[in-house]
Amino acid sequence: MKRIPYVILISLLLLSGCQSQPGNNDPTAKVGSITDDVPEINIPETDIDFSQFSTLDARMQAWGLGKDKDENGQPADAVLANQKYKAYDAVFVGRPDQKVYLTFDNGYENGNTPKILDTLKEKNVSAVFFVTSQYVLENPDLVQRMIDEGHVIGNHSYHHHSFPTISIEKVYDEIMQLDALLLDQFQYKMTLVRPPKGEFNEQSLALCNLLGYQTVLWSYAYYDYNVADQPDPAAALKKNLDNAHPGAIYLLHAVSDTNMQILPELIEGLRKLNYEVARYDLK
């Protein structure tokens, strides 16, 4: 896509009625899905020698977990991944203590984030929100609210392209365009990145690390992302609590009506299990 300077980008978005799109003013509106049809922005040229990554493994790793647990009750696959990719500061599960972490993927807005933020504020919980450029451009007020209320904003890439399917130079653009957008619009410097679709390779991990980012995957996720096929709230709550474990990094999708509904009980349920629903402190 054509690159345009950031100041011009913002002007064009305002003139084109970006703020009047469905879901931007009506928190109950349903927007749709993630799109890569967003204007690109200029970022400074880099002196990074991308050839340095050519010796690293370019094969796609699609993150997923088996059911085996280690002696601390943590998912064995996540513990092994922590060890395997430690050199790149990639995190798949937290320390084996009583802290658990709530992270939300926000690719687009489905009307649930305001209520999620209300619940987090009421329960005094800080979460991580991994956002895309689409989300930021369509929902600046919600992003500002996340920042103002003490949450962590994470980089979920500019276009939500799977990192292993594009060149390492394009991965750089995916990360740094969103980095520049948050810096310019909110004066906020992100330090966490979650690869789209949980797909990564050794090259992308190394690049993110070089750029000062910690790659954050997850140690628990469930089928919550299909807005047309939402899980039963009672069953979902039970599943989320049954799978609690030391250092759990929960992946929740903010588009999920079920997640919005069960969040208060999930937080209280985790606390009753003697877990601290903690602010992310693994970097």
The residue type found at 174 is E
Residue 64 CA: distances (Å) to CA of 81, 115, 241, 262: 11, 29, 19, 24
Per-residue burial over 88-117, b = 16 or more CB atoms within 10 Å of its CB, e = otherwise: bbbbbbbeeeebbbbbbbbbbbbbbbbbbb
**DSSP 8-state secondary structure symbol assigned to residue 151:** P
Q: Which residues are catalytic?
A: 105, 253
Rounded to 5°, the CA angle 91-93-99 comes to 120
Residue 82 CA: distances (Å) to CA of 24, 195, 206, 214, 249: 38, 16, 14, 12, 13
Residue 106 CA: distances (Å) to CA of 18, 150, 157: 18, 17, 11
Contacts of 101 (CB under 8 A, 6+ apart): 94, 127, 128, 248, 249, 250, 277, 278, 280, 282
For the record, the structure tokens of 6 come out as 């950031």
> Residue 106's closest CA among 81, 131, 134?
131
Q: Are 250 and 101 in contact (CB under 8 A)?
A: yes
The runs of H, that is alpha helices, within the chain are 6-15, 76-84, 113-122, 133-138, 140-148, 168-186, 202-210, 233-242, 257-272
Backbone phi, then psi, for 276, in 5-degree steps?
-95, 120
